[in-house]
């Protein structure tokens, strides 16, 4: 079995669900969802170690394609480069939406069939399509101006409200991807370890409103992912780049980055190339490409 991780997950640390009956919440969510595959099979958990771990353990089970793993409390969440993603059930400050999706194929209109094995590039593409979908869901449900920090963090006013983790796994001649994401729904406390995080709604927002928004937001995200996959299969990479670039944070501006050897320098962000790598420029290297996972923005 081979497992490797491409992108990153969210930057928040506390998580609370404002309802106690997860079965009722799952039913409420199902009544709002209009997808064909994604989320129609779901596991609604009060507490788990990591939705990503659970999804990866189930990723090669027959008929797992499209399964949604959602939790009210996550104790050992996964992030990029070994970072932890922790969501505490009891918090007066922060509410989050935390879940993972299983993909056994790139197609979302039919269950997995023979000769439809997921490729690593398709797994990366799913992460980009998920980022697009989350950005659009936030815009539609909140009217906030969300931007995507390459490859797939979601920012509002330069603060991170969402991150996405894409894991690709092969096992016994079968492949699968798990897309995990966490979105800060309500305000965070001004604690040092989350000062760079943002949220969609102020802490004063009524719990009942946050509850409804969370379910609507998740349903819309899954619907958009399905639609974007269909669009991508029809129009290809050019369509994805055309949709993605206008919403890139820091586009055509200089940003400091830190590379693997801890050296820091500034690059001008130019956009995406056909492989979804970041097109960048700096006076020393000229125009060049940065691939997923090479850098961390400062």
> Residue 189 has what pLDDT?
53
214 versus 41: the higher-pLDDT residue is 41
Give CA–CA dist 294/278, Å, rounded. 10
User: What percent of the chain lies above the pLDDT cut of 90?
Assistant: 48
> Residue 94 has what pLDDT?
53
Q: pLDDT for 119-131, tens place per residue?
A: 999 999 999 999 9
Instruction: Look over the chain and give the mean of its residue pLDDT values, rounded to a whole number.
Output: 80
> Residue 21 has what pLDDT?
58
For residue 110, pLDDT beyond 80: no
Give CA–CA dist 136/264, Å, rounded. 32
> Residue 269 has what pLDDT?
95
SS3 string, the chain, reads CEEEECCCCCCCCCCCCCCCCHHHHHHHHHHHCCCCCCCCCEEEECCECCHHHHHHHHCCCCCCCCCEEEECCEEEEECHHHCEEEECCCCCCCCEEEEEEEECCCCCCCCCCCCCCCCHHHHHHHHHHHHHHHHHHHHHHHCCCEEEECCCEEEECCEEEEEEEEEEEEECCEEEEEEEEEEECECCCCCHHHCCECCCECCCCCHHHHHHHHHHHHHHHHHHHHHHHHHHHHHCHHHHHHHHHHHECCCCCEEEEECCCCCEEEEEEEEECCCCCEEEEECCCEEEEECCCCCEEC
Q: pLDDT for 268-284, tens place per residue?
A: 999 999 999 999 999 98
Q: Global pTM?
A: 0.85
Average pLDDT over residues 218-244: 96
Read off the tokens for 274. Answer: 């056909």
> Residue 17 has what pLDDT?
32
Q: pLDDT for 48-87, tens place per residue?
A: 888 999 999 999 998 899 999 998 777 765 555 445 444 5
The pair phi, psi for residue 296, each rounded to 5°, is: -130, 125
For residue 173, pLDDT beyond 60: yes
For residue 93, pLDDT beyond 80: no
237 versus 296: the higher-pLDDT residue is 237
Domains and CATH numbers, the chain: 2-242 (3.30.930.10), 250-297 (2.30.30)
Measured over the CA atoms of residue 127, residue 144, residue 267 and residue 242, the dihedral's sign is: positive
Query: CA 64, 5, 171: angle at the middle one, nearest 5?
Result: 45
């Amino acid at each position: 079995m081979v497992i490797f991780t491409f992108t990153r997950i969210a930057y928040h640390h506390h998580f609370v669900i404002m309802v106690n009956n997860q079965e009722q919440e799952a039913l409420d969510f199902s009544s709002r969802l209009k997808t064909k595959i994604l989320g129609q099979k779901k596991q609604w958990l009060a507490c788990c170690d990591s939705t990503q771990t659970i999804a990866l353990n189930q990723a090669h089970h027959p008929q797992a394609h499209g399964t949604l793993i959602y939790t009210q409390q996550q104790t050992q969440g996964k992030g990029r480069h070994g970072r932890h993603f922790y969501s505490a059930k009891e918090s007066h400050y922060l509410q989050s939406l935390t879940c993972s999706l299983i993909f056994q194929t790139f197609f979302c209109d039919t269950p997995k069939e023979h000769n439809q094995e997921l490729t690593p590039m398709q797994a990366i593409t799913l992460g980009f399509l998920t980022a697009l979908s989350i950005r659009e869901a936030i815009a539609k449900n909140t009217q906030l101006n969300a931007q995507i920090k390459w490859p797939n963090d979601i920012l509002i006013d330069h603060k991170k409200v969402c991150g996405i983790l894409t894991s690709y796994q092969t096992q016994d001649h079968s492949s699968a991807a798990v897309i995990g994401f966490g979105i800060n729904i309500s305000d965070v406390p001004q604690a040092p370890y989350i000062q760079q995080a943002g949220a969609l709604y102020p802490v004063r927002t009524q719990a009942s409103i946050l509850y409804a928004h969370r379910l609507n937001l998740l349903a819309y995200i899954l619907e958009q992912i399905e639609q974007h996959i269909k669009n991508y299969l029809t129009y290809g990479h050019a369509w994805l780049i055309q949709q993605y670039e206008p919403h890139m944070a820091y586009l055509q501006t200089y940003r400091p980055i830190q590379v693997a050897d801890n050296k820091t320098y500034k690059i001008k962000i130019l956009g995406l190339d056909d492989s979804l790598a970041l097109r960048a420029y700096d006076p020393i290297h000229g125009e060049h490409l940065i691939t997923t996972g090479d850098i961390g923005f400062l």
